[in-house]
A and B are shown apart, each in its own frame.
Chain A
Amino acid sequence: MAYGVALSVLADPTRRKVFERLRTGSQPVNVLAAGLPVSRPAVSQHLKVLKGAGLVEERSEGVRRIYSLRREGLAELRDWMDTFWDDALEAFRIEAEKSHKQRGSKRE
C-alpha cells in the first residue's frame, strides 16, 4: 500500500522537514538546502527517497532541478488518515449514545 511507504519515508525528521518546506511551493535543491541544517547532497538524497515514495516530483529548468509536492501522493496519504474533526465527532457520537443508553437502562 502506497501510504505505508509514505509513512516509513516520513518517519525521518530531516526528511519530513524537507517535505514540509515544499508545502509552500516548488523549490530548487539549493534553496531548500539553504534553510536546513544538513548538506545539499543530503537534501538531494532525501528528495530522491521522497520521490521514490511518490510524495514529491521533480522537473528540470535548465541545469536546475525543481522539486514540488506530488498531489496524488498526498491524497493517498490523506485518504488513509482519519481527519481531525471527523475522528473527534465519531468519538463524541459513540460516548453520547453509550451514556444515553446507560441512563435509559437505569430508569427501567
Chain B
Amino acid sequence: MSDVASIAPVRKSVIVKVPIAHAFEVFSSGLSRWWPMTRGVGKKPIKTVLMEPRLGGRWLEIAEDGTETPVATITVWEPPHRLVMLWQINAQWKPDAAMRSEVDVRFTAEGTDATRVELVHHRFETMGAEAGASMRRDVDGGWPGLIARYVEEAERNQA
C-alpha cells in the first residue's frame, strides 16, 4: 500500500489509579513485573525483560540461555514525569542500533491517587518510508509476534 508519505505517531494513554511516583517506578524499574513475555524480540524463551532506570539505561531482554537483546536506550530521564527511549528495533523486529524511532512516555498526576500515562511512539520515518510504515502498523494494530499468535491460534483451532 503506497499511501505513506508522512508517518503518523501512534498515541496511547491509560489512567492508572496510583500516585505518579509509583506509576513511574513500576513502568521503569518494575518493567520485569509487567511486560508481557509474549512481546519479545530476542531469543526465546525469555527469562526476563528489564529496564536500567537511568539516563542511557537500556531496555534489555534476557533469554533463558543468558542471551541479552537490547531493545531500547533511554535518552530522556525525568522521573517521575517523563522518559524517552530510542526504539532500536527494525521493521523485521530485530535489534538494530541504527534505528531511531522513539517512544516518549509522559506521566501526569490526576489528583493525588491517579496518573495519566501517555505513550507516543513516533519518528517512524527515520527508519525509511517502507520500514517505518511497517513498524507503525506493527505497534499500532499488528505485531510480528502476531505471526506467532497466528500459528498458535491456528494450531489450537486445528487441535
A residues with CB within 8 A of B: 4, 7-8, 10-11, 16, 23-25, 69, 78, 81, 83-97, 99-100, 103
From 13 to 28 in chain B, residues with beta carbon under 8 angstroms from any chain A beta carbon are: 13-19, 22-23, 26-27
Inter-chain contact B157/A95, CB cutoff 8 Å: no
Q: How many A-B residue pairs have CB under 8 A?
A: 101
Cβ of A100: which chain B residues have Cβ within 8 Å of it? 17-19, 22
In angstroms, Cα B140 to Cα A89, docked, is: 12
The residue on B at minimum CB distance from A25 is B2
Inter-chain contact B1/A81, CB cutoff 8 Å: no
B residues with CB within 8 A of A: 1-2, 10, 12-19, 22-23, 26-27, 30, 33-36, 39, 117, 119, 121, 130, 134, 138-143, 146-147, 149-151, 153-155, 157-158
The residue on B at minimum CB distance from A68 is B1
Q: A25-B1, A83-B141 are in contact. List 8 more A-B contacts (CB 8 A).
A: A11-B155, A24-B130, A81-B143, A83-B140, A84-B139, A92-B14, A93-B117, A99-B22
Cβ of B2: which chain A residues have Cβ within 8 Å of it? 24-25
Given contacts A11-B154, A23-B134, A97-B17, contact A92 B34 (CB under 8 A): yes
Given contacts A94-B34, A96-B18, A100-B18, contact A89 B1 (CB under 8 A): no
- The 6 lowest CB-CB distance pairs between A and B, nearest first, are A11-B154, A95-B34, A100-B18, A96-B26, A89-B14, A84-B139
Inter-chain contact A10/B34, CB cutoff 8 Å: no
Inter-chain contact B12/A89, CB cutoff 8 Å: yes
In angstroms, Cα B32 to Cα A99, docked, is: 13
In angstroms, Cα B141 to Cα A86, docked, is: 9
